Amino acid sequence: MKVTMPVHIRAFGLRLPSHPLFGRLVPLAVSLLVLAAGSADADTITLSASFIASGFGEGAPVDPVTGSYSITFDNDVFILEQTAGITLSNLNIAIDGPPAFFYDPRTDLLILGSTFNGLLTVIHDTNDFFLTVGHASTHPINVQLVYAQRGTDIFKGGATLRSTPVPEPSTLALALVGTIVAALRRHRKAPSIPRSR
């Protein structure tokens, strides 16, 4: 008859019991932490929000203007006019060019819009717009939208944003590690039921 002694492993100051799953979960958790740490070095962020702009005044063909965006970029880099990394959806006005964005890391200013006339230019009688967001990556303020549609003048109004939080990979990895540690602690604290022979 073969008798095996339970092996205990020390990790993070905890005495963890040996378990068949534990041998597979620890490498997975460590791999996720390494990946998260690697991605944490890069300053790539994703900003997602929906917006509603109004107060365009008389003659505005659309009031309010609504839509949503998701932009992924390195917030340490000055971006003049980039079309990669931006998704613009549910916009209730027509635009003639692809969406793009501008970002200034010194002032945390984000401008997104259509590239039809150039990102920072709206000309009357065109389907074009841009949205400016101050303090875009921290606490958005001074949000304004400027737009024009075919056969109309240029309209400017104030806008409000509703941010959609996007968790960073490191946050997800830490949540996974926390869940694993909590499960192992619970397993350790579970009362053992004596087996009858």
CA distance 132 to 145: 6
Using an 8 Å Cβ cutoff, are 66 and 51 in contact?
yes
Minimum mean pLDDT range among 12-16, 45-49, 178-182, 183-187: 12-16
CA distance 86 to 166: 14
For 150, residues 6+ apart whose C-beta sits below 8 A from its C-beta are: 94, 125, 126, 127
At 143, the amino acid letter reads V
Model confidence over 125-176: pLDDT tens digits? 889 999 999 998 888 888 999 999 988 888 898 888 876 555 555 666 667 7
Query: Measuring CA to CA, how many Å separate 149 from each of 22, 54, 61?
Result: 61, 15, 8
**pLDDT reported for residue 173:** 66
How far is C-alpha 83 from the geometric centre of its chain's CA atoms?
A: 17
**pLDDT reported for residue 191:** 62
Starting from the edge strand earliest in sequence, which strands make up the sheet with 109-114, in order?
A: 79-82, 99-104, 109-114, 128-134, 141-148, 154-163, 44-54, 65-74, 86-89
Model confidence over 20-75: pLDDT tens digits? 555 555 565 556 555 555 544 457 888 888 999 999 888 889 999 999 999 999 98
